Every structure is written in structure tokens, then in C-alpha cells.
């Protein structure tokens, strides 16, 4: 008997239905990622146009799949569609720079270093203020957790495990909590982009096994200042940490 799952509407889906949907989703993601990566890399360049028929031919995809991929690109403002003209690549400065699809595509192409630097510049501008606000607004539990994470980072980094997955996971948790504990919803939206850039650097082997001198200490100093409610010190140490990382990224 075919395994079936009832939907709220009472329709019984078969395993074959689920498998077919998964194939459709995979094809959509393949077309979207391939086309997005190409456009992010500059081919086709801003101002160039193409059609849904071109995408169907290039990717052996259905019209529906091609159209859905274009809709996502339109939502990121990478392309625009007009009758009789087709799909046109928009100027790069009009793209949604914080969209996570676009960030991934940039990191996968020739603009990788530029993307690393741009996101780090954003972090330098935002995270010190987030640390200040966290020192003022965080709950006791959040303060304690930040200190625990900073302490764990220091332990792992001191053991030469700065390039390890456990270190990355703790680092992601630390920076995510720092942003969310600021209670600024705009800062919270940056957790995804920050996660991406930290994960990609680690995945490319760009994170040193022994963290650059001062970074571990600045993590701890920032967390301790937050625990103490010292907003000035929290901001100062967070800025010091990011300046050190900035120098490392620019050099590499």
C-alpha cells in the first residue's frame, strides 16, 4: 500500500507526490543558484537582457521553473522584466546587498573578497553599538551566556582549535546573541549575513587555527563589560576586536 499523508484539506498525498515535489524544488534551486551566481559574477552583465525561453534552453527547465527563478531575482532587485524586452539585469548598486542569496553568490564568485570586506565594514559599524546596547538592555541570562560563549572561544582558540567546527559554532552563537540581545530589530536582521560570512571564511580555510593575537581577549573583555553593564567598555572592546579582524581580512 502507498504511504500517504493527509493534508488539512483532506487530500491524501502519496510518497510519489512528495518525491516529485522534491525534484521540482531541486530543479528550481539549481536554476536559481546557477543563474544568480552567473549574474553576480557579471555574466550576463548589468544592462544585458535575456528571455524565459533562453533559460528554458540553457537549463532544460520548464517555463514555470524559469519564471519562479526570475521572480526570486526580481525580489532581490537583480533583474527586471518588461514585455517585448525580456528580463534585464539591473545595475549592481540597485541590488539588495543584504539578501542572503546574493551574499552566497558573491562569496562563490570573483567578488568574494569585496563581499568579505563589505560585510566586515558593516560589522565594524554595527557590532560595537550592539555591544553597547546589549550592556544596557540584555537580561541577566543573556549576559551570562555571552560570557560563557566568550570563555569557550578563548579555551578553544588557546588550544589551537580556531579553525575547528566547534569553534565556528560557538563564534556564530556569540555574534548572533550579541546582535539579538541589543533589542534592536534592525541589528537582529544582520544575524543571517554575519553567519554566512563567518561560515564561508571557515569553509574556505581562512580562519586561523590560532586566532590573531588580541581577538580572544577582546571577546572576553567585551562579554565581561556586558556582564558588568559597562556600555563604554563593551563598545570599546568590541570595536578593538573587529579592527583586528578587519586588518586580517584586508591582508588576506
pLDDT higher at 85 or 172: 172
Domain covering 111-251 in this structure, CATH number? 1.20.120.530
* pLDDT over 80 at 134, yes or no: yes
Residue percentage of the chain with pLDDT more than 70: 90
Q: Is the pLDDT of residue 241 over 90?
A: yes
Mean pLDDT of 11-30: 56
How many Cβ atoms sit within 10 Å of the Cβ of residue 108? 16
C-alpha closest to that of 238 among 182, 185, 199: 182
Q: Does 141 score more than 50 pLDDT?
A: yes
pTM passes above 0.75: yes
- pLDDT value at position 3? 39
Q: Would you kindly state where each structural domain of the chain is located, as residue ranges?
A: 4-94, 111-251
Q: What is the pLDDT of residue 222?
A: 98
HSE value, Cβ hemisphere, 13 Å, CA-based, for 79? 30
CATH 3.50.50.60 fits 4-94, yes or no: no
More confident residue, 32 or 25: 32
pLDDT tens digits for 43-65?
999 999 999 999 999 999 999 99
Amino acid at each position: 500500500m502507498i504511504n500517504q499523508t493527509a493534508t488539512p484539506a483532506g487530500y491524501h498525498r502519496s510518497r510519489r507526490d512528495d518525491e516529485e515535489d522534491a525534484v521540482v524544488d531541486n530543479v528550481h534551486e539549481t536554476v536559481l543558484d546557477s543563474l544568480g551566481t552567473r549574474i553576480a559574477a557579471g555574466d550576463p552583465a548589468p544592462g544585458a537582457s535575456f528571455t524565459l525561453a533562453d533559460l528554458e534552453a540553457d537549463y532544460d527547465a520548464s517555463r514555470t521553473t524559469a519564471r519562479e527563478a526570475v521572480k526570486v531575482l526580481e525580489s532581490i532587485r537583480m533583474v527586471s522584466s518588461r514585455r517585448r524586452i525580456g528580463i534585464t539585469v539591473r545595475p549592481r548598486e540597485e541590488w539588495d546587498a543584504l539578501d542572503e542569496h546574493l551574499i552566497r553568490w558573491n562569496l562563490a564568485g570573483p567578488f568574494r573578497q569585496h563581499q568579505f570586506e563589505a560585510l566586515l565594514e558593516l560589522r565594524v559599524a554595527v557590532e560595537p553599538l550592539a555591544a553597547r546596547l546589549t550592556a544596557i538592555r540584555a537580561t541577566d541570562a543573556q549576559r551570562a551566556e555571552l560570557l560563557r560563549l566568550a570563555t569557550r572561544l578563548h579555551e578553544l582558540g588557546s588550544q589551537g582549535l580556531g579553525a575547528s567546527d566547534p569553534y565556528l559554532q560557538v563564534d556564530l552563537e556569540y555574534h548572533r546573541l550579541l546582535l539579538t540581545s541589543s533589542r534592536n530589530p534592525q541589528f537582529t536582521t544582520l544575524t543571517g549575513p554575519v553567519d554566512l560570512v563567518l561560515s564561508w571564511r571557515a569553509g574556505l580555510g581562512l580562519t586561523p587555527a590560532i586566532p590573531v593575537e588580541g581577538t580572544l581577549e577582546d571577546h572576553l573583555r567585551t562579554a565581561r563589560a556586558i556582564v558588568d553593564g559597562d556600555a563604554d567598555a563593551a563598545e570599546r572592546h568590541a570595536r578593538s576586536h573587529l579592527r583586528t579582524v578587519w586588518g586580517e581580512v584586508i591582508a588576506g
